[in-house]
Amino acid sequence: MPSETIPLSILPPLAECFYCTCYCEENAWKMCESVQKNFPNELSRAYAVFISNDERKVPLWMQKQSPSEEVPIVWDYHVIMVHQHPSSGSQVYDMDTSYTFPVDFEKYVTTAVGTNDRLMEEFYRFFRVIPAQEFLDTLASDRSHMKKEDGEYKSPPPSHPCIVAKDGTTMNLDSFIKMEKGTGHGEVMTLAEFTTKFMESSD
């Protein structure tokens, strides 16, 4: 048993969290940063999770932008945070879901992610799972992926400076989105592997 009581949520209410539409990797980075500041003992149980595939077509259900629960949103990639709660099981922090914040992992993976059985193979979801501290140290984004040919942003960027990796790297976002096992930071998992990792109880 943990030596201290850990609240169900290790983040403030969603309305009090940093959020910038279309910049999910920075939203997740800010979530991890918040845990580092406010619940440092829980950082080792927190993970940033990139969801994508080779086609960059990943359907997710129960998203706020979806017109109904039956219709998925197809992202090129999406990023969430998962916390392996020591007593309540794993919790998912997805700022774009219509579920609560956080939401129980089993509920999220069963209904928001759902089985691959109903999908064509090109839509199968893969998951790059990165320990939160590693994510904070290594993500770098100069936001160039969000710029149009004329230099204008496709969507207004966050007001804070671009995220630079601890080693000085200024752009490596593609290496996080790429779903090739044995490459980049963290571990690339199939849906089955991802489910198994976070359905298991934490010590």
pLDDT in tens, 28-68: 999 999 999 999 999 999 999 999 999 999 999 999 999 89
3-state secondary structure the chain: CCCCCCCCCCCCCHHHCCCCCCCHHHHHHHHHHHHHHHCHHHHHHEEEEEEECCCCCEEECCECCCCCCCCCEEECCEEEEEEEECCCEEEEECCCECCCCCEEHHHHHHHHHCCHHHCCHHHCCEEEEEEHHHHHHHCCECCHHHECCCCCECCCCCCCCCECCCCCCCCCHHHHHCCCCCCCCCEEECHHHHHHHHHCCCC
Annotated catalytic residue within 32, 94, 96, 185: 94
Is 24 an active-site residue?
yes
Binned at pLDDT 50, 70 and 90, residue 200 comes out as confident
Asked whether residue 202 carries a pLDDT value surpassing 50, the answer given is no
More confident residue, 7 or 10: 10
Express each pLDDT in 66-75 by its tens digit: 989 899 999 9
CA distance 5 to 87: 9
Asked whether residue 203 carries a pLDDT value surpassing 50, the answer given is no
Binned at pLDDT 50, 70 and 90, residue 2 comes out as very low
Annotated catalytic residue within 24, 83, 85, 96: 24
Write the DSSP symbol of residue 161.
Answer: P
**pLDDT for residue 35:** 98
Binned at pLDDT 50, 70 and 90, residue 181 comes out as very high
CATH of 17-199, one of 3.10.620.10, 2.60.40.420, 3.40.309.10, 3.40.50.620: 3.10.620.10
Annotated catalytic residue within 78, 83, 85, 185: 78
Query: From residue 76, how far is each of 16, 23, 54, 55, 178 by CA, in Å?
Result: 27, 12, 10, 8, 11
Asked whether residue 8 carries a pLDDT value surpassing 80, the answer given is no
Binned at pLDDT 50, 70 and 90, residue 85 comes out as confident
Asked whether residue 154 carries a pLDDT value surpassing 90, the answer given is yes
Asked whether residue 6 carries a pLDDT value surpassing 80, the answer given is no
